[in-house]
């Protein structure tokens, strides 16, 4: 089992560029989510999905889009990158229901200049 994988590991964008952060899991988890981690702010939820075709917004969704066409994949799209989106992004997955522990990917460090 690879668990939760994320690509790329590092990325530098210019303001206004778009890109997609990839996330995949091989644990057959229904729930997948994206967080960003900033110094002094902790982990904050961007978007989440409880299954293929179902997505919803978290705490800080502005500037990001998601889709869930398969159980395994949950890409995060930055439509027009801004310096405020410089952060480390983590994808996580878990079973739905109960207090299921979430498994995190290794993260993508994004810098927007």
Partner 1 sequence: EDQVTQSPEALRLQEGESSSLNCSYTVSGLRGLFWYRQDPGKGPEFLFTLYSAGEEKEKERLKATLTKKESFLHITAPKPEDSATYLCAVQKNNAGNMLTFGGGTRLMVKP
Site pattern 39..58 for partner 1 (x: CB under 8 A): -xxxxxx--x-x-------x
Does 61 bind partner 1 (CB under 8 A)? Our answer is no
46 in the Ramachandran plot: left (φ > 0), alpha (ψ -120 to 50) or beta? alpha
CB of 63 to partner 1, least distance (A): 20
Cβ contacts of residue 49 below 8 Å, gap of 6+?
31, 32, 33, 55, 56, 66, 68, 74
CB 103 within 8 A of CB 3: yes
Does 74 bind partner 1 (CB under 8 A)? Our answer is no
Pick the binder of partner 1 from 46, 107, 110, 112 (CB under 8 A): 107
Interface positions with partner 1 (CB under 8 A): 4, 31, 33, 35, 40-45, 48, 50, 58, 90, 92, 94, 96-107
């Amino acid at each position: 089992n690879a668990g939760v994988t994320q690509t790329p590991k590092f990325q530098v964008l210019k303001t206004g560029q778009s890109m997609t952060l990839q996330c995949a899991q091989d644990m057959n988890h229904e729930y997948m989510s994206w967080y960003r981690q900033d110094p002094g702010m902790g982990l904050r939820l961007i978007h989440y999905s409880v299954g293929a075709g179902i997505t919803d917004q978290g705490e800080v969704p502005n500037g990001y889009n998601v889709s869930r066409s398969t159980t395994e994949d949950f890409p995060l799209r930055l439509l027009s990158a801004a310096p405020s989106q410089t952060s480390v992004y983590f994808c996580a997955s878990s079973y739905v229901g109960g207090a299921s522990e979430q498994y995190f990917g290794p993260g993508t460090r994004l810098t927007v200049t």
